[in-house]
Structure 1
Amino acid sequence: MVSSGLKKIVSPCWKPSLEGDNSRSSDTNGRVDGLLWYKDSGHHVNGEFSMAVVQSNSLLEDQSQIESGSLSCDDSGPYGTFVGVYDGHGGPETSRYINDHLFRHLKKFVSEQHGMSVDVINKAFAATEEGFISLVRKQWHNKPQLASVGSCCLVGIICDGKLYIANLGDSRAVLGRLEKGIREVSAIQLSTEHNASIETVREELRSLHPDDSQIVVLKHKVWRVKGIIQVSRSIGDAYLKKAEFNREPLLARFRLAEPFSKPILGAEPSILVQKLYPHDQFLIFASDGLWEHLTNQEAVDIVHNYPRNGIARRLIKAALQEAAKKREMRYSDLKKIDRGVRRHFHDDITVIVLFLDPLLINKSYWRGPTLSIRGGVP
């Protein structure tokens, strides 16, 4: 609930068309330009932000949100900022579910435990996972395909001078830190990724499933869990976690030939907690679609060297320019390709940049409007 004295901002529902259309105002939150939704600038409890989403799939599978001013860090009253990037696969249902439920669970457990903690975050992730699996079970006979839908889940929380990063899957959070005396900003990756392309992830899977020689398979030059999926942890993907869904009426292409007794994919996030310092300049949260085309340092350099206004949109443009270059085509031609077909060139991409004001990081009160904004709402 938002008190009557506070203004709640919610991003618009939108249905993208071809890029190249004249940009049109959607409301005070942002704008839609073809397959692109963006909010060039805004304020959160701890500074400013920029946010953008571009669609490539027939249905947008990325979802995201920023919540600020409504998350109480502890009983003494400081307020925090929450960022979520949810990169769906197999469909948009899981990422939409996370967008609707994860933050609510987090607020509930913060209230119950009188503060933010690793335990609170773990409980919020677990409740979201359990809720979606329960939904799959309830709709098993009517919508069995829900068992094959999942989502990566990247969360960032700033509370009382501390930064919490929690991640499932291969979205990524990167910190831009100003190096003393040289005026350069270093890129520091904060999130741990769970993708079978990483050797340590493959080793982890093999150690968890010592009797399964096919737990990771190199297929068409890509490492995949059971030859199916690249990520080793997610929300959803019930067909790889619960044997009860490894049967009809689920489509045969999703069913494993051999039974399994324990979950193949995990749902426990990797969590990092650290203090924020005055030389910590900004945070970039983005789905894998961005990092497929830009390195951490390239992204950080763009944010550091260009104006804050519209910087998330600029990062997406840089990634799309690289995607076009890889296919030996012009960026202007790539923008003309419709959703669905566009997926052959790049994935859905979500980018949220949080700028950090050192004077506001340890702020003990918040007098601004409550911010609740979502990108990629279909």
Structure 2
Amino acid sequence: MLVKLMNLLRACWRPSSNRHARTGSDVTGRQDGLLWYKDAGQHVNGEFSMAVVQANNLLEDQCQIESGPLSFLDSGPYGTFVGVYDGHGGPETACYINDHLFQNLKRFASEQNAMSADVLKKAYEATEDGFFSIVTKQWPVKPQIAAVGSCCLVGVICGGMLYVANVGDSRVVLGKHVKATGEVLAVQLSAEHNVSIASVRKELQSMHPEDRHIVVLKHNVWRVKGLIQVCILYLRTIYSFQILLELSSHGPARYNSLSKIFFGTGRC
């Protein structure tokens, strides 16, 4: 199991093979029991560090850092892509996202010859549709495939902008240095989609007034349909839905069934 974990985590850092990408000397990172970590590495926008702790016997989560071209064009754009995929019920969804989301982003960035919130939106939609087609095909022989899912948290740095997209209850937190005190202030940049939050429960109930059991208090824990706390996963297991958007904290939004993605942009 530890060998498989190490092989997975070595693949988390995949620098591009061109002059715009830089790698640190400690490519594979270090291991301490069930903890894997990399103290410092280089990407096109600066330095990064990362760590993963295995909590389950079967590792259901995936992560990746891609640095270099964000499209298939020599002209770029160039930047850094960070993805964290918190799998649920099995590793299938998180693995699929890890293999396809960034490639989809590069495809749409190539079409638009730029990085944008719309590119990120389309990459999310294409990845979700791709996995849903696999579930549809495998359902007759592998019905348990419909019980897996994943949160999907992405940050992209490109052209002095930070793009954030989130499905689920993972968090993007910005560390802001306060010169006056020397402390680092934690600023949350993403919205969470977990029915333990009263406003999220209220939103789901307003979206599904016909379903009295859309949110159920089970064993002292609020759950969607009595099954799971996270109300938005990368798989349409409870209701068939399309991925929806909220472009920036004050941008346009539309809702359909259970799904909402928070997209934000900020100047780096």
TM bucket, shorter chain: 0.7 to 0.9
* Mapping of residues 185-196 of structure 1, within 5 Å: 185-196=184-195
- Give the letter for the 2:264 counterpart: L
Equivalent position SS for 2:172: strand
Q: 1:123 to 1:36 in 2, by over 3 A?
A: same
Which moved further from structure 2: 96-105 or 178-187?
178-187
CA positional deviation for 1:230: 0.6
Equivalent position SS for 1:224: strand
May I ask how many residue pairs the two structures share in their alignment? 235
Q: State the alpha-carbon separation in 2 of the partners of residues 74 and 141 from structure 1.
A: 40
Contact kept? 1:73, 1:115, Cα under 8 Å:
no
TM-score (norm 2): 0.81
Q: State the alpha-carbon separation in 2 of the partners of residues 13 and 241 from structure 1.
A: 35
Q: 1:50 to 1:269 in 2, by over 3 A?
A: same
Higher relative contact order (CA 8 A, sep 6+): 1
Which moved further from structure 2: 213-222 or 33-42?
33-42
Contact kept? 1:75, 1:115, Cα under 8 Å:
no
Equivalent position SS for 1:80: strand
Q: State the alpha-carbon separation in 2 of the partners of residues 112 and 204 from structure 1.
A: 35
Contact kept? 2:69, 2:77, Cα under 8 Å:
no
Contact kept? 2:193, 2:200, Cα under 8 Å:
yes
- Match of residue 60 from structure 1: 59
Contact kept? 2:71, 2:107, Cα under 8 Å:
no
Q: State the alpha-carbon separation in 1 of the partners of residues 159 and 237 from structure 2.
A: 39
CA RMSD of aligned residues (A): 2.4
Unaligned ranges ≥5, structure 1: 1-10, 16-26, 244-262, 277-378
Q: Which has the larger radius of gyration?
A: 1
Equivalent position SS for 2:174: strand
Q: State the alpha-carbon separation in 1 of the partners of residues 225 and 257 from structure 2.
A: 8
Which moved further from structure 2: 154-163 or 183-192?
183-192
CA positional deviation for 1:264: 5.5
- Match of residue 239 from structure 1: 237
Q: 1:14 to 1:215 in 2, by over 3 A?
A: closer
- Give the letter for the 1:273 counterpart: T
CA positional deviation for 1:193: 0.5
CA positional deviation for 1:105: 0.3
Unaligned ranges ≥5, structure 2: 10-25, 242-255
* Mapping of residues 66-215 of structure 1, within 5 Å: 66-72=65-71, 77-215=76-214
Q: 1:160 to 1:14 in 2, by over 3 A?
A: closer
Identity %: 63
Q: State the alpha-carbon separation in 2 of the partners of residues 86 and 230 from structure 1.
A: 16
TM-score (norm 1): 0.58
Q: Give yes or no for the alignment of 1:265 onto 2:263.
A: no
Q: State the alpha-carbon separation in 2 of the partners of residues 40 and 180 from structure 1.
A: 24
